[in-house]
Copies of this chain bind each other. A is one copy, B any other.
Amino acid sequence: MILSSVRKLVLAVDVCFCLRTHFVKSFHCSSQLFKKLPANWQHGRLIAHRRSILNKMAATDKSIQEILQPLRDSVKEQGDLVRKLKESKANDIDIKKAVNELKARKKILEDKEISLTPSDAIFQRTRLEDLLKRRFFIDISFSIYGGISGQYDFGPMGCAMKHNILNLWRNHFVIEDSLLEVDCTMLTPEPVLKASGHVERFADLMVKDEKSGECFRLDHLIKAQLEKIMEDKDLSPTVKNECEEIIARLDGYSKDEMASVLKKFDMKAPLTGNDLSEPVEFNLMFSTSIGPSGQVKGFLRPETAQGIFVNFKRLLEFNQGKLPFGAAQIGNAFRNEISPRSGLIRVREFTMAEIEYFVDPDNKDHPRFQTVADMKLPLFSACNQMDGKPVEEMSLRDAVSNKIIANETLAYFMARIYQFLVKIGVNPTKVRFRQHMGNEMAHYACDCWDAECLTSYGWVECVGCADRSCYDLTQHSKATGVKLVAEKPLSEPMEVNIVDCLPDRATIDLNNIEKVHEKDEIYELKLDNKSFQISKEMIKIRRYPKKIYVKEITPSVIEPSFGIGRIMYSIFEHSFKIREGDEQRVYLTLAPIIAPTKCSVLPLSGKQEFVPFVQQLSSKLKEFSISHKIDDSGVSIGKRYSRADEIAIPYGITVDFDTLKAPYTVTLRERDSMLQIRLPVDETAPLVRDLCSGVKSWDDAMKMYPLFEQQEASKD
């Protein structure tokens, strides 16, 4: 009993964590962190250095702290109020109101923080978007038909990059953590999503233009209209204040609260000015009919997780009945967003990669936790959010032992997520793990941390890491009557009391039943006037003790869930660069391991003598499965380098006049430094392979071969 309520206390993260938390203050980036990265990961160290600078700068810049302090105090004051209300068991409505106020204050603090970040964070989004479209990383789907909002196609560059990321994900998680990967169908019959709660709860509020039928997502509409009202220079300060407050608190508003805002400001449909309908809940799942009868209702899955849960029994069997184990799935999911904007951040069809790690609910330790326990992660706990405190670097060992993170398995996966994000090129100074506060957690979760990346859209949730407890398995078990449990050996056998009911064989003729069954027919118990009395003689009730050696448990599940498109977008922003001294030359510093094309092959001119060398290099690269691009267009070599930089090609091989004579050498150029080395033709493809797989670094290559001194600009 006592244990169980301690457990409850632990899970009520928004109230209790901080009561027993002693933060290990650590603003400096730990070199420990990068020990877990592959040894050849030079890039990581560079960024670690930058992060350290940034943190120091923030810590010493007193004027910034002075601006933020009152906002922090305001958050803390409200956080304390929420705690007090919860402790005194105040009524739900009062708590909810106080929490909304808290969120509003947090948002003001965060907006201010972002606005005060150093100027290198100011970002030219349009130029990036132009590059992504022009070089066909991504484009709006069906653009020749006018396009469909919220749907994007990946062109050759985006597709190859996505594929590289997913392959790395497989190696990093499926292979290294020995997960069972599955590939389930997207079309999902209604009962499955009823059980999971999606049919009932997976909805956003919307209003319709009464005449045209156009739909608007309610919170977006209110925000846009209030912002328009605030543009009026003659607006009274009171109204302006009110508008600001509503915008800040909108996220937490109920349907009724939003409806009253609509009424108060007499909001109409944009453009037409028509009346708006009452707010309605719009389910975000795409529905369809499976089969021709129209009677089997189905949906496109809104997440890949359910496919794993419904296969739990088979997967447990596959794992020979043992806990813990993890399953994984990569695949598309669909959400019929009401009015998708924000590019790749909010789309209707997207690729997810999800892990469901099943654990004993009474023991969420992870066998490999010790391998990551000393890593320090940027944690933004619920407690810090309520106190108006910033993100803190903390070792996972401390976070778990101080109950900031609920258990080892959750912490272990947060570490693995962080390693993965940094490996594929997310800027580690622009990642944080934000803990959900109690009231914003999904209906199934009991603790949840989002890995968020800082972009020009603000902090964007890219990976969720939730403890879904036993919610899903319990729900599917209820809906189907199929036991979804694991057997846990008891430390010592337990005696239980059995009550058994046996038919009396003399009275109920079992032989007769058997005979009928043998003929594969159904045995009918003959009843007089449709009622049948079971007399005392017919059955015997036995009571006896029995020893049992295992008990059945419904596993808890820890779920790391990756939004691949959002991660890709964050990487695009984090790697978008403008060449110093040449505003026109933009490029992407994608890590070679995820770069769509690994290498360009550039004959200096159209001379026929270059062709055999180009072909020899190309077939060698193909042999190693290295994607490459031959650019033999007539333009200057400088222009071709710059075109290759735009699509993030990390290495460029140039065939020039020195190539034609023994000892037959070419130059190899690295994208970010623009430095070139000169090396034998035969050794080029193997070197590029080693550079791209991370076996060798560019520094290694520079030590092996002489620098090629000719300046890039001189070739333009």
Pick the contact of A142: B135, B189, B313, B349 (CB < 8 A): B189
By a CB distance below 8 angstroms, the chain B residues around A142 are: 188-189, 192, 310
Which one of A173-181, A448-456, A700-708 is at the B interface? A173-181
| Contact A182–B154 (Cβ < 8 Å) | yes
Contact between B151 and A187, CB atoms less than 8 A apart: yes
Q: Kindly list chain B residues whose C-beta atoms are within 8 Å of the C-beta of A74.
A: none
B-chain residues with CB within 8 Å of residue A136 when the two chains form the complex: 314-315, 317-318
A349 to chain B, nearest CB (A): 5
**Interface magnitude class on chain A:** 35 or more
Interface residues of A in 101-156 (CB under 8 A from B): 135-136, 139, 141-145, 148-149, 151-156
User: Which residues of the partner chain B approach A612 to less than 8 Å between Cβ atoms?
Assistant: none
Picked from B175, B213, B215, B292, the residue with its CB within 8 Å of the CB of A206 is B292
Q: B155–A336 contact, CB under 8 A?
A: no
Q: Give every chain B residue within 8 A of A242 (Cβ-Cβ).
A: none
Residues of B within 8 A of A183 (CB): 153-154, 158-159, 162
Q: Which residues of B contact A307 (CB under 8 A)?
A: 141, 153
List residues of chain B with CB within 8 A of the CB of A162: 183
Query: CA–CA, A156 to B178, complex, Å?
Result: 11
When all copies of this chain in the complex are counted, the total is 2
Q: How far apart sit A306 and B518, CA to CA, in the bound complex (Å)? A: 56
A170 touching B175 by the CB < 8 A rule?
Answer: no
Residues of B within 8 A of A170 (CB): 163
Q: Are A144 and B184 in contact (CB under 8 A)?
A: no
A293-B214 CB under 8 A given contacts A142-B310, A145-B310: yes
Considering the complex, give the chain B residue whose CB is closest to the CB of A283: B292
Contact present for B139 and A159 (CB under 8 Å) = no
Q: Which one of A175, A176, A187, A292 has the greatest number of beta carbons of chain B within 10 Å?
A: A292
Within 8 A of B (CB), among A301-343: 307, 310-311, 313-315, 317-318, 320, 327, 332, 334, 336, 338
Q: With an 8 A cutoff between CB atoms, is A664 at the interface?
A: no
A60 CB within 8 Å of chain B: no
Chain B residues whose CB sits within 8 angstroms of the CB of A338 once the complex forms: 291-292
Measured between beta carbons, the chain B residues less than 8 angstroms from A148 are 185, 187, 189, 290, 296
With A142-B188, A348-B187, A349-B187 known as contacts, the answer to whether A182 contacts B155 (CB < 8 A) is yes
Is A622 in contact with chain B by the CB < 8 A criterion? yes
Cβ of A186 within 8 Å of any chain B Cβ, yes or no, is yes
Residues of B contacting A155 in the complex (Cβ-Cβ under 8 angstroms): 180, 182, 311, 314-315, 318
A633 within 8 A of B: yes
Contact A311 B153 (CB under 8 A): yes
A189 in contact with B145 (CB, 8 Å) = yes
Separation of A171 and B320 alpha carbons in the complex (Å): 35
Most chain B CB within a 10 A radius of its CB, from A182, A183, A288, A625: A183
**Residue A295 interfacial (CB < 8 Å):** yes
A102 to B: closest C-beta gap in Å: 31
| A482 located at the interface, meaning its Cβ lies under 8 Å from any Cβ of chain B in the complex | yes
CB-CB contacts below 8 Å: A456-475 with B: none
State the CA gap A183–B144 with chains docked (Å).
17
Let me know if A72 is at the binding interface, CB within 8 A.
no
Is the C-beta of A160 less than 8 angstroms from some C-beta in chain B? yes
Give the residues from 542 to 588 in chain A that come closer than 8 angstroms, CB to CB, to chain B. Answer: none
In the complex, A300→B186 CA distance in Å?
Answer: 11
* Bound: A573/B37 CA distance, A: 43
Residues of B within 8 A of A288 (CB): 286-288, 300
Q: Please name all residues of chain B whose beta carbon is closer than 8 Å to the beta carbon of A669 when the two chains form the complex.
A: none
Nearest CB in chain B: distance from A619 CB, A? 9
Interface residue? A282 (CB, 8 A): yes
Evaluate contact between A159 and B144: CB separation under 8 angstroms: no
Of residues 182 through 203 on chain A, the ones whose CB sits less than 8 Å from some CB of chain B are 182-189, 191-192
CB of B153 within 8 A of CB of A184, answer yes
A163 to B293, CA, bound (A): 34
Interface string of A261-301 (1 = CB under 8 A from B): 00000000000000000000010001111111101100010
Known: A175-B627, A290-B348. A153 touches B182 (CB 8 A): yes
Q: Determine the distance from Cα of A176 to Cα of B626 in the docked complex, in whole angstroms.
A: 10
Whole-angstrom distance from the CB of A649 to the nearest CB of chain B? 14
Name the residue on B nearest A168 (C-beta): B625
Interchain CA distance A235-B300 in the complex, whole Å: 49
The answer to whether A349 touches B182 (Cβ under 8 A) is no
Question: When A170-B163, A310-B145, A480-B145 are in contact, do A334 and B215 touch as well, CB less than 8 Å?
Answer: no
Cβ–Cβ contact B633 & A320, under 8 A: yes
Measured between alpha carbons, how far is A192 from B325 in the docked complex, in Å?
44
A293–B336 Cα gap in the complex (Å)?
11
A182, B136: Cα distance in complex, Å:
10
- Taken together as a complex, chains A and B put the C-alpha atoms of A145 and B475 apart, in Å, by 12
Residue in chain B with minimal CB distance to A350 = B185
| B residues in contact with A174, CB < 8 Å | 627
Q: How far is the CB of A699 from chain B (nearest CB, A)?
A: 22
Is the beta-carbon distance between A186 and B332 smaller than 8 angstroms? yes
The answer to whether A476 touches B332 (Cβ under 8 A) is no
Given contacts A154-B182, A215-B293, contact A192 B145 (CB under 8 A): yes
Inter-subunit contact B627/A185 (CB<8 Å): no
Q: Select from chain B the residue with minimum beta-carbon distance to A175.
A: B625
CB atoms of B292 and A144 under 8 A apart: no
Q: In the bound complex, what is the Cα–Cα distance between A555 and B182 (angstroms)? A: 40
Query: Please, how many angstroms separate the alpha-carbon atoms of A158 and B174 in the complex?
Result: 14
Can you report 28 residue pairs joining A to B where beta carbons are below 8 Å apart?
A: A136-B314, A136-B318, A141-B184, A141-B185, A141-B310, A142-B189, A144-B313, A145-B191, A145-B192, A145-B480, A148-B189, A153-B185, A154-B184, A155-B318, A156-B182, A175-B627, A185-B348, A186-B349, A187-B286, A187-B334, A187-B348, A187-B349, A215-B292, A286-B288, A290-B336, A292-B338, A300-B300, A320-B633
A residues with a Cβ closer than 8 A to B are 135-136, 139, 141-145, 148-149, 151-156, 158-160, 162-163, 167, 170-171, 174-176, 180-189, 191-192, 206, 208, 213-215, 282, 286-293, 295-296, 300, 307, 310-311, 313-315, 317-318, 320, 327, 332, 334, 336, 338, 348-349, 476, 479-480, 482, 484, 622, 625-627, 633
- List 7 tightest A-B contacts by C-beta distance, closest first: A154-B183, A156-B180, A215-B292, A159-B183, A153-B184, A151-B185, A144-B482
Apart from A142-B189, A187-B286, A187-B334: 10 A-B pairs, beta carbons within 8 A: A148-B185, A148-B187, A148-B296, A156-B318, A156-B327, A158-B183, A163-B181, A174-B627, A288-B288, A291-B336
